[in-house]
Chain A
C-alpha cells in the first residue's frame, strides 16, 4: 500500500465521496410520481385494454368474425361465436375477451385483416371480481368510444397497424405469395 492509498484509507476519502453524493441528492428534487394524484399519460401506442373498433360511417362494429385474432392469440383468450342470418350473412353473436389471460402482445391487432380490434392506451381497470374482466362485445365497443373515439382512433391504425408495404424491401413490386 502506497502512502497515498494509506492516507486515503485513514481519511475515509471514498466514504466521504459517497456521503457527499447522498447529501447532494437530499437537496435535489425527487423523481417520484405521486401516482393517483399525478398520472402519467401513456405514450401513443401503449398496449392497454382491448376495444372493438366502430366504423365511423356505419356506426357498427368493424369485426366480421373471421376468427383470425382468436387463432393468433398466444394465450387463446378470445372467443368468437358467429351465426348466419336470414340473408345468409355472417353475424357476430358474441365476441369475448378474457382480459385476465391476455398478455398484451397485440398479435390480434396484427392478425386482424380489417383493423377491427385495437389495444387502447387505457391501463387502469383493476376491480374486485373476476367477472368484470370478461369483456363482452358490447363492453369492448364501449371501450372504443371511451378511449379511442375521434382522431386518436383514426391515427391508431395509421401508425401501429403493421406490417405495411413500406416496411418491406421490395415495396414497389407486387408481393408474390
Chain B
C-alpha cells in the first residue's frame, strides 16, 4: 500500500510540468494573533508550515542599556515595562536581585505583601493569557469573562499602589507602602469567588470537543527538548518537568505557605493550558494563606545605606536630609562590587536579573533573562510541520509578551 502510494506520488511529480514552491507568508508584526509585534515568516506548503522564522526587536527600547545610566532606584519603573502584563513580578524580580547584591534582608511583612502581589500579578497575567489564547482559537466569550475578573484585580492594584498596569510598587528593601486591612479583606473576598470564575472559563472550553481537537497533540515538546531549549515556567511544566523557582530557590514568602507545582504530561498545548488553569487555583490558594498568615510589622528593611531615609526624619534632621540628597542624586554609593544572577518565577517563566556592580550607584551592566525571549526561540520547534491554525495555538500556549522579549 505504502509502495503504491509512493509510486503514485513519484509518478505525479514526474508528470507534473509545473514547478511548485513554498508560499512565504509574512505573519506580523501587525497581526491579530501574534500578541503584539512578533513577526513570523512562514514558508507554507499548502497550509502546512515548512519553516518558521521568528523576527523580534520591534519593541526594543534598550531597557538594559538605559539601566546602566539610572541608579538602582530609578530602574524600578523601567522593569515595569518588561512584561507589562505582570509588572509586579518584574518589580519583585529586580528588587530581590538587588537586595541579594546589597545583602539586605527584607522584613517579613514585606515578604508576605510581595508574595500576595506577585501571585495577583500571576493571576492577572494568566487571565490575559487565557483570554487571548481562547480568542485565538475562536472562543471569544472567554476573553471578556477573563477581563471582567482582571478589572477587579486591577482595581485592587490601583488601591494598593496607585497604578493599574505599571505599578512600580516594590522598593529596594521593601515595598512602596503598606497594605491596609480593608484592602486585604477585599482581596480575600475576591479569592473566595475566583475559583468559581475559573470553573466558568472551564465550562466554556475545558471539555469542549472543538477545544480539545485544537489543542491536544498540537505543539508537542518533550521534557528533554524543553529543558534543552531552556524553556521555563508553565511552558516547561506542561512537559512534565516540575521545575519552579518558587519551590527550588524560594524567595519572598513562598516557603512559608503550602502549595503544589502543577505539571502536565504530554507537553502539548492542552497540557500547558491545564497547567496554567491549575496555577490559577494554586495562586489563589497562596494569596489566601498569605492573607491569613500575614504578620504585622514594618515594611522597610533596616539598611540605611541603600534605602531612602524616613520622610519625617528628612524634614527634621540635617543628617538625614543630606543622606537623602546623596542617595537620590548619586544612588547607593556603598553598593558592593561584583556580579549576581538572581532568578524569580514570573508568570511566564524564569525571570533572571544579572547585575554587574562596580561599586557606584548604578549597575555597570544589567542583563535580563526573560522567559518570552527564550520561548520565542523555541517556536520553530513547536510549529514546523503543523498547520497555520496550529501556530496560532502554539504562540498562545507559550504565552509571550514582546515587551519582555525585545526589552
- Say if the two chains contact directly (CB < 8 Å): yes
Q: Which residues of A contact B325 (CB under 8 A)?
A: 66, 68, 113
Q: Which residues of A contact B314 (CB under 8 A)?
A: 113
Known A111-B328, A169-B300, A169-B301; contact A46-B163, beta-carbon cutoff 8 A: yes
Within the complex, the shortest CB–CB distance from A120 to chain B, in Å, comes to 11
Q: Which residues of B contact A162 (CB under 8 A)?
A: 176-177, 311
* A79 interfacial contact with B, CB 8 Å: no
Q: Which B314-338 residues have C-beta < 8 A from chain A? A: 314-315, 317, 319-325, 328-329
Asked if B298 and A21 make an inter-chain contact with CB atoms under 8 angstroms apart, the answer reads: no
Within the complex, the shortest CB–CB distance from A124 to chain B, in Å, comes to 15
Task: Choose one: A14, A44, A177; the contact of B208 (CB below 8 Å).
Answer: A14
Interface membership of chain B positions 122-151, coded 1 if the CB is closer than 8 angstroms to chain A and 0 otherwise: 000000000000000000010000001001
Within the complex, the shortest CB–CB distance from B306 to chain A, in Å, comes to 11
What interface size band does chain B fall in?
35 or more
Q: Write the chain B residue with the least CB distance to A121.
A: B162
Asked if A43 and B166 make an inter-chain contact with CB atoms under 8 angstroms apart, the answer reads: no
Task: Choose one: B200, B206, B308, B321; the contact of A110 (CB below 8 Å).
Answer: B308
* A150 interfacial contact with B, CB 8 Å: no
Asked if A43 and B74 make an inter-chain contact with CB atoms under 8 angstroms apart, the answer reads: no
Asked if B313 and A175 make an inter-chain contact with CB atoms under 8 angstroms apart, the answer reads: yes
Task: Choose one: A17, A31, A71, A164; the contact of B328 (CB below 8 Å).
Answer: A71
Within the complex, the shortest CB–CB distance from A157 to chain B, in Å, comes to 8
Asked if B307 and A163 make an inter-chain contact with CB atoms under 8 angstroms apart, the answer reads: yes
Asked if B151 and A15 make an inter-chain contact with CB atoms under 8 angstroms apart, the answer reads: no
Within the complex, the shortest CB–CB distance from A127 to chain B, in Å, comes to 22
* A58 interfacial contact with B, CB 8 Å: no
Q: Which A74-111 residues have C-beta < 8 A from chain B? A: 74-75, 103-107, 110-111
CA A113 to CA B80, docked complex, whole Å: 25
* A154 interfacial contact with B, CB 8 Å: no
Known A15-B209, A105-B76; contact A177-B309, beta-carbon cutoff 8 A: yes
* B7 interfacial contact with A, CB 8 Å: no
Q: Which residues of B contact A111 (CB under 8 A)?
A: 308, 328
Interface membership of chain A positions 35-69, coded 1 if the CB is closer than 8 angstroms to chain B and 0 otherwise: 00000001111110000000000000000001010
Q: Which A163-177 residues have C-beta < 8 A from chain B? A: 163-171, 175-177
Q: Which B264-285 residues have C-beta < 8 A from chain A? A: none
Within the complex, the shortest CB–CB distance from A170 to chain B, in Å, comes to 5
Q: Which residues of B contact A147 (CB under 8 A)?
A: none
Known A71-B329, A169-B298, A169-B302; contact A106-B162, beta-carbon cutoff 8 A: yes
Q: Which residues of A contact B324 (CB under 8 A)?
A: 68, 113
Closest 5 CB pairs of A and B: A105-B77, A177-B323, A14-B207, A74-B74, A47-B162
Known interface pairs A21-B204, A46-B163; 6 further A-B residue pairs with C-beta atoms within 8 A, sorted by A's residue number:
A43-B155, A45-B162, A105-B80, A111-B328, A166-B298, A171-B298
A selection of 28 A-B contacts at a CB cut-off of 8 Å is A14-B209, A15-B209, A21-B204, A45-B161, A46-B162, A68-B328, A71-B328, A71-B329, A72-B73, A72-B74, A103-B77, A103-B80, A105-B76, A105-B168, A106-B168, A110-B176, A111-B308, A113-B321, A160-B162, A163-B299, A163-B310, A164-B310, A166-B298, A168-B301, A171-B298, A175-B313, A177-B304, A177-B309
Residues of A with Cβ closer than 8 Å to B?
A: 9, 14-15, 17-18, 21-22, 31, 42-47, 66, 68, 71-75, 103-107, 110-111, 113-115, 119, 159-171, 175-177
